[in-house]
Amino acid sequence: MAEPDVKHRPPMTKTEDVSREGEREQDGEGENKMAPGKTPANQQRGSADQLVQPYTLISLLTSVLFLISSALIVFAAFRNTLTWHLQRFWGASGDFWQAGWDRILDAVGEDPVNFWVFGTVIFTFSVYWILGGIYTVMDIINKPGALRRYKIQPGTNEPVETKRLIKVIGSVVFNQIVVGLPVSYLSYFLMAWRGFPPLRELPTFHWVCAELALHILVEEISFYYSHRLLHSRMFYKHIHKQHHEWTAPISVTAIYCHPVEHIFSNLLPPFLGVFIAGRHVATAYLWFAIAIISTLNAHSGYHWPFFPSPEAHDFHHLKFNQCYGVLGVLDRLHGTDTVFRNSRNYARHLTMLTLVPARELYPDQQPKYKQQKAL
């Protein structure tokens, strides 16, 4: 694989230079030098130890379950309210969603291939580029300036370099169409073998919620281990390194990667839960949309108020060998978030319920010599 053209890149910042140390370890080009009797976590901990609160696996699981249950309750309330208003506005009888689904089937037919193959590709492509396109425009024009306050790594991609962006867009579209279409066909054949319900009848809302919970857990497990495998020396240099060209990612770099990685780390983890459940294609569409929106947010480079925190995955791009998962459960279990939890980024790793940016609420700590000089 050709290395990225560095002639047009801006000078490497101190942060990027530090992050390259982690990449050299993945490539096998550097040595992990430690003082006798000390672990890498102990060496990098330093004064940041004060930032960490006692945190057990049980408390983490409790937080995750609380987050999932709260999201489902909000989703349920929103769905019921939206359904009532839509039925009142359009005068629809019966279930608004079922009536709308029936109209789609009446228009395009009930061939499952059209929904599981072509529909999946078109739907996921549209979700990715509608939201990703908004982020891309912001990254190109570098406006509105007020929103740059929410940048996780200020000063990066302001604006994004055009040549690098074109390379990303070409790779992403290739993965979505040239790679995604054959994989969608294979997924359909697997689902046909597994068995799925008729297209005409939508699943109940409560069953959809149960399926989404299953999909989230299956993705966390499959993505964590596939992602961690990609960071092994065997696969990183030749496959996963492409994705890590961006130490400060932008939204559309979410699936900027080698085709092999796209299949086994981007497409397979979300599909596994759908295959295990063997349920309706409409539920699959909903789940794929959630997964795409989540990864676009995780790679956006922005920590928005009221949105899930992308600090962990942004830190992964910065340091390379931390925070491999989505929810953080397996990272905590395997200790692959130790450096992250001892960083200022971890203090910012929460859903902000205020319009004040996380970097302003939790500013970087000044070095000790600057603190003493200020006194």
pLDDT greater at residue 346 or residue 8: 346
The whole-angstrom separation of Cα 273 and Cα 261 is: 19
Residue-wise pLDDT tens digits, 161-171: 999 999 999 99
The per-residue pLDDT for 209 is: 87
pLDDT at 262: 97
Per-residue pLDDT at 316 exceeds 90: yes
Cα separation of 77 and 324, whole Å? Answer: 33
**pLDDT of 237 over the 80 cut:** yes
Reading the block at residue 155, the tokens are: 């000063």
**For residue 118, what are the CA distances in angstroms to 71, 90, 194?**
30, 30, 19
Does the pLDDT value for residue 295 go beyond 90? yes
Tokens 């629809």 -> residue: 92
- Over range 212-236, report the average pLDDT: 94
List the structure tokens of 29. 């080009």
Q: Which single residue is written with the structure tokens 């295990």?
A: 276
Q: Where are the domains of the chain?
A: 94-288
Q: Tell whether the model's pLDDT for residue 125 goes beyond 60.
A: yes
- Whether 363 and 158 have beta carbons less than 8 Å apart is answered as no
**Band (97; pLDDT cuts 50, 70, 90):** confident
Q: Which of 294, 293, 297, 343 is nearest to 318 (CA)?
A: 343
- The answer, yes or no, to whether the previous bond of 159 is cis (omega within 30 of 0) is yes
Please answer whether residues 205 and 76 qualify as being in contact, where contact means their C-beta atoms are separated by less than 8 angstroms.
yes
Instruction: Mean pLDDT check: name the lowest of 174-183, 199-208, 340-349.
Output: 199-208
Mean pLDDT, residues 39-57 taken together: 42
Give the bridge partners for 302, in sequence order.
151
Return the structure tokens found at 175.
């993965």
- pLDDT at residue 20 tops 70: no
Confidence grade of residue 31 (pLDDT, cut at 50, 70, 90):
very low
**How confident is the model at residue 46, as a pLDDT?**
40
Closest CA to 356 of 306, 314, 297, 293: 306
Distance CA 132, CA 173 (A): 12
pLDDT at 370: 54
Rounded Cα distance, 92 and 201, in Å: 17
> What pLDDT is recorded for position 39?
44
Most distant CA atoms of the chain, gap in Å = 74
pLDDT in tens, 318-360: 998 999 999 999 999 999 999 999 999 999 999 899 999 999 9
Q: pLDDT band for 205, please (50, 70, 90 cuts).
A: confident
Nearest to 155 by CA among 319, 365, 15: 15
57 has pLDDT over 70: no
In angstroms, the CA 370 to CA 354 distance is: 30
- The rounded mean pLDDT for the chain is 82
Residue 13 is predicted with a pLDDT of 46
Does pLDDT of 88 surpass 80?
no
Q: Which residue has the higher pLDDT, 247 or 18?
A: 247
